Structure 1
Amino acid sequence: MRSRAKILGLVGAAALGVAVVSASYVVTGSAGAAQPSTVEEFQPAMVEGVARDLRMSVDEARKTLREQEAARVVRKRLPQSLVDQSAGMWFDERTGKLTVAVTDQAAAKAARAAGAEAKVVGRGQAELDRITARVTALAAGVPGVNGHGVDVTTNDVLVRINRTKKTPVTERFVAAARALGGVRIEETDTSPVQQAGEVNPGDGWWPGSETPCSVGVGATDSAGTKYLVTAGHCTNDVNQAAYGQSGQQNRLGTVNPGGGKSINGPEGDMGLVAVTEAGWTLSAAVNTWGQPAVAVTGSKDAIVGETVCHSGNTAPNWECGRVTKLNHTMVYNNGSLTINGLTVTTACSQGGDSGGVWLSGDKAVGLHEGGINGNNCPTGDNAVFQPLNEALTKWNLTLFTGGDTQAPTAPGNARSTGTTTSSVSLAWDASTDNVGVTGYEVFNGGSLATTVTGTSATVSGLAADTSYTFTVKAKDAAGNSSAASAAVSARTQPGGGGDDEPPTTPGNLRATGVTDTTASLSWDAAVDNVGVTGYDVFNGTTLAASVAGSSATVSGLTANTTYSFTVQAKDAAGNKSKPTVALSVKTTGTTGGRTFSNDADFPIRDFQVLQSKVTSTAAGAAANPVTVKVTATHTCLQDLQITLVSPSGRWYTLQRYGDGGWQCTPFGGQRTFTVVPASGEAASGQWTLRIGDNGPGDTGVLDTWSVTV
């Protein structure tokens, strides 16, 4: 995800008067002219699109693309310490080089040594982030505010306002924002809008009977499931049918399958469609609508100043421009919807382009999100996109760049071929694949036991006289995995051979995580005269899990219930240790009523955000107000930003960073917060408490919290 924790940390440092001092910088690589890491052959659609939309010749477009590649090489060569302390960087079309904003001459010298241009500015990143934080607090609910964020090229914070919606409240906001210093107001007459075979990036797709959106990119998860990644405001309906043609024709898959795969709120605007229907495959070829397709070879984050193009379902379909700003906040629907972390460009866009892919060269950089000026396209800032890498990271996806997407067949005739007191030998018939099987994964229950390239394996480290269940999956070079084989049950032989010495008792049994239905446990390893082969975890007197390592998660528990766990070590001869001292663990949530809690401890760390979750089973609408009780310790309450996120994805601020001034006072004990929920906010589902620590040198722990809905 975007580095908001880092940004908040810099705000805290500035607010507490922590100065950013000159440092030593180590520059790696040659200081001469940077050379692009890829060949200087750019795909025709990129060259033609840049030339047309940026009003330059084809030769000038090639030169610009070549210079951008060189600037990215320079960016990789910059010392990380310099990047962290810079006030931003951008590709300067006038010089054809990367420019780095710095606050002292030592940093400027380091930037130039790496091959970049340096611009010494008056405001460092910490100061810009401090101003942004205050603008965000002031702008909440102000009529006419369209969005805001840092403009690195001018070293200030830009605020956009629709002059046709201004009120006296807006005028007071403008005066207060300007009084902060470093704030620039830009007025417009429009407000932003979220523009609403093979799966080709840029093609249209239809969510149910609604208006069309556009395909972003193809991606796969670790299980080989195929997805198209697109805009969150196109994928808000859980399990909705997705079609490749209007009129609900040619179904290609399912929108937001199972829920939890769509976001349209402060975290971003991104979502998934599972490609499930027969005959539909992924493609890395971006539809450029008349030019040869651009093959996506990877993904990257955009740089201010570079040229980018996007493909969408609405004419003229393929449009290009320059990136002008990163990490900007957009405010939609008269303030009812805020999206953070967006990238702003000068390109044009239209309704129906939503979710379409944005490219820099042959690398995907984003998913189309909306237009600052609606469907109009005046000179200046226009189209906006969601950074792609955030979506890939959030759902742990691999970008599809072409190749094999067909999984092998399941291994056949899985069988046990022999057992000992501590091992089971297995064999199976080979799987087949359209390209070729590269190996097999053997699972002991739900845990991966071993990986082999042939059609047999021996699983060792097992307990004597114990039954086990095994399955096998085939995999290919593209990472596709087959369905599991039929399960094979085998029992190890009874112990013997003279070893009658049990292992020592495992030490320091502890809980490492608790949810409504699970308890995660860990312990210190036992020792044995021959060797420990595993551990049995007991819930009371009932065997709950058998594992080979020193941790386990017990599932199937009841919310808001106390359980007693013990652990025993065992060896190959079947000897078992004495049980550990019993550990009492209470699950989160509630078995009734409307109060739900989480008692798991979470450290509150400098410049990081913790998230603690509870699942509500309460029916109906959320209470008005929703009550949140937080028990925690922390050395500086003023450094904390505390937010409640509802099951619908709405964010409710409980405590703002900087509230009460900048003199630190301890959090200490329990604090109670109340918020008024939005109309129609449901009580049931996952509620999340987020605590961000925005200052240095603090310590703290979230002990417990509850929400009454």
Structure 2
Amino acid sequence: MFKARTALVALAAVALTLTTLGSAQAQGPGGEKDREAGVSAPRNAGPAPDGTAPQTLAAPGAPGALETIQSRIAAYVEGHGTDYGFASYVDGTTGKLVLQTDAPDALVAELTDLSGASAAENAAADAIELRRSAPVDTFDRRDDSPPFYGGGGLRSGNSLCSSGYAVTNSAGTRFMVTAGHCYANGAAVTTESGANAYGTVSNRRLPTVTNEPVDMELIGGQSYAPRVFTGGVTSNTSIPIVSAGGAVVGYDDYCHSGRTTGENCGHTATSIDGQVCTQTGCKSPVIVYNGGTISQGGDSGGTFYAKNSSGAWVRGHVIAGGGGNGYVQPWTVVSSTLGVNIVTG
């Protein structure tokens, strides 16, 4: 509402300014075309398409009951945290009070007990429609929100890459790692959707930039979490990062997580001292893997890891692929080159 009011005030100010200046002063270098671009009265387009919707319904006592229950829920969440999800409203098509939650029955009964309220409010609460599921934040690996996870989609200009894993430097400042061939130092990065600022690039290391045989950079300035997206390309599931270290040749269930192919496992590490040379130079040593779905364009920077019931064990981040192989910048090289530590959680 505040933004809407601000926009209306701004438009009113523009209209007043143009009127005060007069048509001669309002005319710019473009002459009549400039003047036509000014603020004009809205065209009479008739009623809005949704202006003929039927009148909403509300059972007697339902609005008052809703206000009491919502107040109780807000107080509970403030005091106990967000272990349970809640959504509550009066359904305008049925008139009934609706509560969606995964909270246990005893807590639901406590929050919805209106026996001391008016008869109408008590009746509305007794007739509540209970839906047994938890509402969740709407986000996914291509439209992440802070704190940001590994394996999410990144964008700067027209370039898409993937996030790797959260690290800290010697001062305790937290960053997200991605591939050095993704973005230039100082580039402003957003989530793939462009909805959220992801941070600013620094510490770019690449053969064609710093003459080092590595492919890494940091993104900083926002909040980054020690988690990695799992599942498909629009998944919002994730697992925690529990450790980081070197890969083991012959292990056959490594995973990578990125915006293009999602999470894919069943990779076998065939070498930990390989070399890969691309349009951005030669990098070595790198982890070479095959098997399963190999990483593709846009997966660069995405997390490479082993996982178990505890979470993800980071081994590096994806930097190249082709010919049935994938290539990974090892974590051990990242940590020694940039002087960073993995963030776990």
TM-score relative to the length of structure 1: 0.25
What is the aligned counterpart of 2:187 among 213, 235, 240? 240
**Residue of structure 1 aligned with 2:273, choices 327, 331, 334:** 327
Q: Which residue of 1 aligns with 2:227?
A: 285
Aligned partner of 2:287 in structure 1 is 343
Aligned to 2:132: none
Matched, 1:385 2:328: yes
Q: Distance in 2 between matches of 1:319 and 1:211?
A: 25
Between the two proteins, the alignment pairs up a number of residues equal to 187
Task: Give the secondary-structure state (helix, strand or coil) at the position aligned to 1:303.
Answer: coil
Please identify which structure carries the higher strand content. 1
What is the CA-CA distance between 1:245 and the residue it aligns to?
Answer: 3.0
Provide Cα deviations, 1:72-123, integer angstroms capped at 9, x if missing partner: xxxxxxxxxxxxxxxxxxxxxxxxxxxxxxxxxxxxxxxxxxxxxxxxxxxx
Match runs of 1:376-415 below 5 Å: 377=324, 382-402=325-345
Task: Say if 2:276 and 2:284, in contact at 8 Å, map to a contact too.
Answer: yes
Structure 1 distance, partners of 2:176, 2:170, is: 15
- Structure 1 consecutive aligned stretches of length 4 or more whose deviation exceeds 6 Å: none
Structure 1 counterpart SS, 2:159: coil
TM alignment of 1:505-516, pairs within 5 A: none
After superposition, residues 198-209 of structure 1 pair within 5 angstroms as 198-206=147-155, 208-209=156-157
**1: CA distance, partners of 2:148 / 2:225:** 6
Asked if 1 retains the 8 angstrom alpha-carbon contact of 2:159 and 2:182, the reply is no
1:429-476 CA-partner distances (Å, limit 9, x unpaired): xxxxxxxxxxxxxxxxxxxxxxxxxxxxxxxxxxxxxxxxxxxxxxxx
Which residue, out of 159, 164, 186, partners 1:216?
164
Tell me the distance in 1 between the aligned counterparts of 2:284 and 2:188: 28
Q: 1:270 to 1:264 in 2, by over 3 A?
A: farther
1:339-367 superposed Cα distances (whole Å, 9 cap, x missing partner): 12111101411110000011122310011
SS in 1 for 2:181: helix
> Structure 1: how far apart are the matches of 2:149 and 2:314?
13
Counterpart residue identity of residue 215, structure 1: S
Structure 1, gaps ≥5 residues long: 1-196, 403-709
1:314 aligns with 2:260: yes
Residue 349 of structure 1 aligns to which amino acid in structure 2? Answer: S
The aligned runs of 1:537-552 (5 Å cut-off) are none
Q: Please name the residue that 1:683 is paired with.
A: none
State the 1:316 CA deviation: 4.4
- C-alpha displacement of 1:210: 2.5
Q: 2:322 aligns with which of 369, 372, 377?
A: 372
Tell me the distance in 1 between the aligned counterparts of 2:245 and 2:238. Answer: 19
- Tell me, yes or no, if structure 1 residue 271 matches structure 2 residue 217: yes
Tell me the amino acid that sits aligned with residue 213 of structure 1: C
What CA distance in whole angstroms lies between the structure 1 residues aligned with 2:337 and 2:188? 23
Q: Residue type matched to 2:328 in 1?
A: F
How far apart are the structure 1 equivalents of 2:152 and 2:246? 22
For 2:341 and 2:301, locate their aligned partners in 1 and report how far apart those are by CA, in whole Å: 18
CA distance in 2, matches of 1:401, 1:343: 22
How far is 1:264 from its partner? 4.0
One-letter amino acid matched to 2:255? C
The 2-side partners of 1:317 and 1:297 are apart by: 17
The DSSP-based 3-state class of the residue aligned with 2:297 is: coil
Give the RMSD, CA atoms, in angstroms: 2.0
1:338–1:298 Cα change, 3 Å: same
Deviation at 1:255, TM superposition (A): 1.1
How far the C-alpha of 1:297 sits from its partner, in A, is: 0.6
Matched residue type, 1:350: Q
Corresponding residue for residue 243 of structure 2: 298
TM-score normalised by length of structure 2: 0.51
Q: Which residues of structure 2 form unaligned runs of 5+?
A: 1-144
Kept in 1, the 8 Å contact 2:276–2:327? The answer is no
Q: Please state how far the C-alpha of 1:284 moved relative to its aligned partner.
A: 1.6
Query: Equivalents in 2 of 1:261, 1:364: separation in Å?
Result: 20
Residue type at the aligned position of 1:394: T
Contact 2:213 2:281 in 1 (8 A): no
Q: Taking structure 1 as reference, are residues 372 and 315 closer, same or farther at Cα in structure 2, changes over 3 Å only?
A: closer
Q: How does 1:647-658 map to 2 (within 5 A)?
A: none
> Percent identity at matched positions?
28
CA distance in 2, matches of 1:288, 1:216: 13
Give the AA of the match of 2:289. T
Instruction: Note if contact 2:316-2:331 (Cα within 8 Å) is conserved in structure 1.
Output: yes
Cα offset for 1:212? 1.0
Aligned equivalents of 1:303, 1:338: Cα separation in 2: 22
Q: Determine if contact 2:165/2:227 at 8 Å carries over to the other structure.
A: no
Please give the alpha-carbon distance, in whole angstroms, between the structure 2 residues aligned to 1:282 and 1:365.
18
Give the Cα–Cα distance (whole angstroms) in 1 for the partners of residues 336 and 342 of structure 2. 10
